[in-house]
Chain A
Amino acid sequence: MKADDTGLLAREPGETSYLTAGTTLRSWLLSTDHKRIAILYAVSITVFFFIGGAAATMIRLELFTPAGDLTTADEYNRLFTLHGVIMVWFFLIPSIPATLGNFLLPLMVGAKDVAFPRLNLMSWYLYVTAGLFTLAALLLGGVDTGWTFYTPLSTLYSNSYVLLAAFGIFVVGFSSIATGINFIATIHLLRTKGMTWMRLPLFAWAMYATSLVMALATPVLAMAMLLICAERLLGLPIFDPRVGGDPVLFQHIFWFYSHPAVYIMILPAMGVVSEIIACEARRRVFGYQFMVYAMLVIAVIGFLVWGHHMFVAGQSPFASMIFSFLSFVIAVPSAIKVFNWTGTLYRGRIRFSAPMLYALGFVGLFTMGGLTGLFLASIPVDVHLSDTYFVVAHFHYIMVGGAVSAFFGGLHFWWPKITGRLYNENFARSAAIWLFFGFNFTFFPQFVLGYLGMPRRYHEYPPEFQVWNVMSSTGAVVLAVGYLMPLFYLGYSLLHGERAGDNPRDATGLEWATSSPPPQHNFHAPPVVRSEPYAYHDWDEAPGDADETPQTDAP
């Protein structure tokens, strides 16, 4: 039975969707509906994405030439700090969980809402408050410590708005803790009848793994930021070596959060990509259980590898060895996921839709990012590459090539569900391809620059590095144009797009069993789950075009 026919779950004729359930500003700003909060988040992170993107564009323009001719050294330092702070905490961390996760998780597990709807709204208000603090720091003149806030530069030497920014980051951490706790509770408590753990879609599992990291690692970020404020504001001797403090202690605390934070960014992306590839290849996910365990293992070991950021920071060689070892171990579950996505394509019936192009792009770029991670886990190679453009390229392959590609893929994949409209597929495919090439054009040359020794956070550089910088900066212009494209065709589709059916992708998840856009309470009756996820074909048959068994049929 096709999900379109499951009339009992979907909206009744004449009933309003969550989008039209209230039209006043108040009905949006005080809504506890997880779908509306997801939209609030989506709008806010889009604003921050373009602020952070503008800073990135300025940085790359400055680096066209070896001399510092576009910005002063101080302005340049403020630009890359701004870019890092905004992109990490105000875009990447909330990107998939707070938008797609908020919207989809309750739908996927068959719930009316998240476990704590008001906490969910509070999380958005915390995010906005934190954003205002950070924007205030920016408008008053910026911060020049780098997003890493290394001490004692940040506590004793910087003459910029460190306190405001650190406080903003302290607050935004709580919005991510709130989201994490909410998701954990939702998955434990609100799974509908028949939704066993091993029937959870991989996106829900990804949200679970991410939420564990959010809830357990983010408090340590709060500590790090509070200690900075305590030393800077109150003069407490914590990191200042002249009074017995230890500046390297800050790096331990900071990376204890900030390395797991990378997994907060990439685990949700893995979830999104698993959904897209299974649906668009019309194939059951290869090795579903291995995919689940791989994500959980990544979440756990992710807590134990922070020291690989400090191979040259003066930590003991013994510690470096252990961190190097664990960093190689964590490569294994990541590799398993890549192989399983590839395996899912085998004997599939592949549609090259825009989300699928993003997902395939993700697999390639994430693999690049992961493999270059092996270079940085090898101590002698890391000593050479540490704090060079090689590192910059590596983490942009993971965070932009990986996480942002997946976010865009997911945005397109669920766009018909979220908005009830179809976008122009050809524009969307062109943008996906354009972004893939623009991305590689921007960041691949940075691997070469890094090997040649160009340090990061340099606003002037020796002329022999110029040719690679020109390539990278040209790519950045291409990339910037690419990121503007979806604004137009997605914006157009909001107003003029063709109406999407309830399940235009013939997907199996519960979110597709309700209307597009969903009604305010998601389902009319709690759906009952009768099959595993990704039943795009019977076990003993080849996939056809629409042979899927939805996870639920009408109760």
Chain B
Amino acid sequence: MLPEASTLAPAVDRIFWGLVGLSVLIMGVVGGLVFAFAIKYRRGTDAYRGPLPEWMSREVEIGWTVSTLFVALFVFWWAAAAQLPHFLLPRDALEIHVVAKQWMWKAQHPEGVREIDALHVPVGVPVKLEMTSQDVIHSFGVPAFRIKQDVLPGRYTATWFEAKEVGDYHLFCTEYCGTDHARMTGTISVMQPEAYARWLAAQPHGADLAGEGGQLYTALGCSACHGANARVPAPPLAGLYGSQVVLADGSRVTADEDYLRESIERPEARVVAGYSSTMPAYQDVANEEQVVALVAYIKSLDSGRSAAR
């Protein structure tokens, strides 16, 4: 049997098994009637075959149309209501960045620990996955958690889970991605929080993600324009994340991860009002993991701190 290893799993299974029950019931009624009629009214029996009463065709027809519609709408409501809470990403989750590429999964913990085709997470803590792909579309699927989310190139997608049972679970790429699609698998290891902390401490640490982004911020020359003492006018980055930005064409956009990422990779796409489009595109300069770090750095800059480092 498939373990119910996340807080979401029991809710999904409730609907799944509810639908199994409904299907068995309907299949039983339809199959039973087909069988019963086929036997009773087979050629040669002397079953009563008189004309159908007038009321039967119309009222039976309307009756089963309405009741089927009612059942369908009920199931829709039931399933949609169960999904709604999962659409909202938890605020205080452990945030893990995932970069997919043909044919491996790379994960980065906020402390800077990196893993390939594996992900260690603590039990009982909501984990949010911020994901992007370096090439084609992949999909991050963990059957034991009942989660799945396509991972797209050129965009961030997110999903979350809260593991509730310690153990090792399959991670599958579930969107066909080319030759070694079937080998793009991994293991999700759910650990007790203390064990997770020990594991984390034992891993080789890079700088934390935002710190790494900060170094790139200088190394890639971002600070030359976005820094406090820059001579070229560029939009300030402090407090940018989550704020409303007015664009050159007058429209507004929320500066989320996707917008930040797009503005690094293809700055001319959505230019901030009042600035000219002079920033070079970084899509061939910084790789996906570096962009993830830069975005993490920009997110870490609240308006109280200066962008100039």
Known A-B contacts A345-B37, A452-B143; A247 and B154 likewise in contact (beta carbons under 8 Å): yes
Query: Quick check: B51 and A542 within 8 Å, CB to CB?
Result: yes
A531 within 8 Å of B by Cβ?
Answer: no
Tell me whether B49 and A314 are in contact (CB under 8 A). no
Q: Which of B37, B72, B175, B176 has the most chain A CB atoms closer than 10 A to its own CB?
A: B176
**With the chains together, A281 CA to B65 CA distance in Å?**
23
Partner pick for A386 among B23, B82, B144, B174, CB 8 A cutoff: B174
Considering the complex, which residues of chain A in the window 506-555 have a beta carbon less than 8 Å from any beta carbon of chain B?
Answer: 539-543, 545
Tell me, yes or no, whether A216 is within 8 Å of chain B by CB: no
Besides A352-B42, A451-B2, 6 other A-B contacts (C-beta < 8 A): A312-B139, A350-B38, A352-B38, A367-B27, A371-B19, A384-B16
Q: A290 to B61, Cβ gap below 8 A? A: yes
User: Could you tell me if B34 and A363 are in contact, using CB atoms closer than 8 angstroms?
Assistant: yes
Q: Could you list which residues of chain A lie within 8 angstroms of chain B, going by C-beta atoms?
A: 68, 73-74, 77, 144-146, 148, 150, 152-153, 156-158, 241-242, 244-248, 281, 286-287, 290, 312-314, 317, 321, 324-325, 328-329, 331-332, 335-336, 338-340, 342-343, 345-352, 360, 363-364, 367-368, 371-372, 374-375, 377-381, 383-384, 386-388, 451-453, 455-462, 539-543, 545
Q: Would A247 and B137 be within 8 Å (CB), given that A347-B41, A384-B143 are in contact?
A: yes
Which residues on B are within 8 Å of A, measured CB to CB? 2, 8, 11-12, 15-16, 19, 22-23, 26-27, 30-31, 33-34, 37-38, 41-43, 47-52, 57, 60-61, 64-65, 68-69, 72-73, 75-76, 78-80, 82-83, 86-87, 102, 135-137, 139, 141, 143-144, 146-150, 152-155, 157, 170, 172-183, 185, 265-266, 269, 283
Would you call B76 and A324 a contact (CB within 8 A)? yes
B179:A73 contact, CB within 8 angstroms: yes
| C-alpha spacing A331/B73, complex, angstroms | 10
- Considering the chains assembled together, what is the distance between the CA atoms of A242 and B287 in angstroms? 12
Is the CB–CB distance between A157 and B180 below 8 Å?
Answer: no
A285 to chain B, nearest CB (A): 10
In the bound complex, CA of A37 to CA of B180 (Å): 43
Instruction: Report yes or no: B72 in contact with A312, Cβ–Cβ below 8 A.
Output: no
Closest to B66 in A: A332
Out of B26, B154, B173, B269, name the residue touching A371 (CB < 8 Å).
B26
Inside 8 A of A336's CB, which chain B residues have their CB? 61, 64-65, 68
Nearest opposing residue in chain A for B26, CB measure = A371
A363 to B34, CA, bound (A): 9
Q: Which residues of B contact A542 (CB under 8 A)?
A: 48-51
Cβ B79 vs Cβ A314 within 8 A: no
Set of chain B residues within 8 Å of A77, measured between Cβ atoms: 176, 178-179, 181
Which residues on B sit within 8 Å (CB–CB) of A347? 41, 47-50, 52
Closest to B33 in A: A342
Bound complex: CA A458 to CA B72 (Å): 33
A345 near B38: Cβ-Cβ < 8 Å: yes
Nearest-neighbour CB distance to chain B for A243, whole angstroms, equals 8
B30 — which chain A residues lie within 8 A by C-beta?
A: 338-339, 342, 363-364, 367
Q: What are 22 A-B contacts with C-beta separation under 8 Å?
A: A74-B179, A150-B176, A241-B153, A242-B266, A287-B61, A317-B87, A328-B72, A329-B69, A342-B30, A349-B43, A350-B38, A352-B38, A364-B30, A372-B23, A380-B11, A381-B19, A383-B83, A387-B174, A460-B183, A462-B185, A540-B51, A542-B51
CB distance from A430 to the nearest CB of B (A): 18
> What's the minimum C-beta distance from B279 to chain A, rounded to whole angstroms?
16
> Complex: how many Å from CA A290 to CA B57?
10
Residues of A within 8 A of B182 (CB): 68, 73, 455, 457-461
B176 touches A457 (CB 8 A): yes
With beta carbons under 8 angstroms apart, the residue of A242, A371, A384 that contacts B148 is A384
Question: Cα distance A246–B31 when bound, in Å?
Answer: 46
Query: A157-B102, A451-B2 are known contacts. Are A287 and B57 too (CB-CB below 8 A)?
Result: yes
How far is B148's CA from A314's CA once the two chains are assembled, in angstroms? 11
Evaluate whether A379 and B150 lie within 8 angstroms (CB atoms) in the complex, with A347-B52, A363-B30 already known.
no
How distant is B165 from chain A, measured CB to nearest CB, in Å? 16
Hey, which chain A residues are within 8 Å of B136, CB to CB?
150, 152-153, 156-157
B25 vs chain A, min Cβ distance (A)? 10
The 3 lowest CB-CB distance pairs between A and B, nearest first, are: A241-B154, A453-B143, A378-B79
Would B76 and A325 count as touching, CB distance under 8 A? yes
Is A241 touching B155 in the complex (CB atoms < 8 A)? yes
Contacts of A68 in B (CB 8 A): 182
Residue in contact with B37 in the complex, picked from A153, A287, A342, A540, CB distance below 8 Å: A342
In the assembled complex, the Cα of A157 lies from the Cα of B49 at a distance in Å of: 64
B138 → A minimal CB distance (Å): 10
Contact of A339 among B12, B64, B175, B176 (CB under 8 A): B64
Separation in Å of the A425 CB from the closest CB of chain B? Answer: 14
Give the most central of B43, B152, B173, B185: most A CB within 10 Å. Answer: B43
**Which residues of chain A come closer than 8 Å to B15, judged between CB atoms?**
378, 380-381
Decide if A345 touches B174 in the complex (CB within 8 Å): no
- Docked pose: A85 CA to B114 CA in angstroms: 40
CA distance A372 to B75 in the complex (A): 13
Closest to A321 in B: B80
Given A153-B176, A371-B27, A455-B174, decide whether A387 and B37 contact each other with a Cβ distance below 8 A: no
A462 and B182 CA atoms in complex are apart in Å by: 10
Check if A455 sits within 8 Å of B173, measured CB to CB.
yes
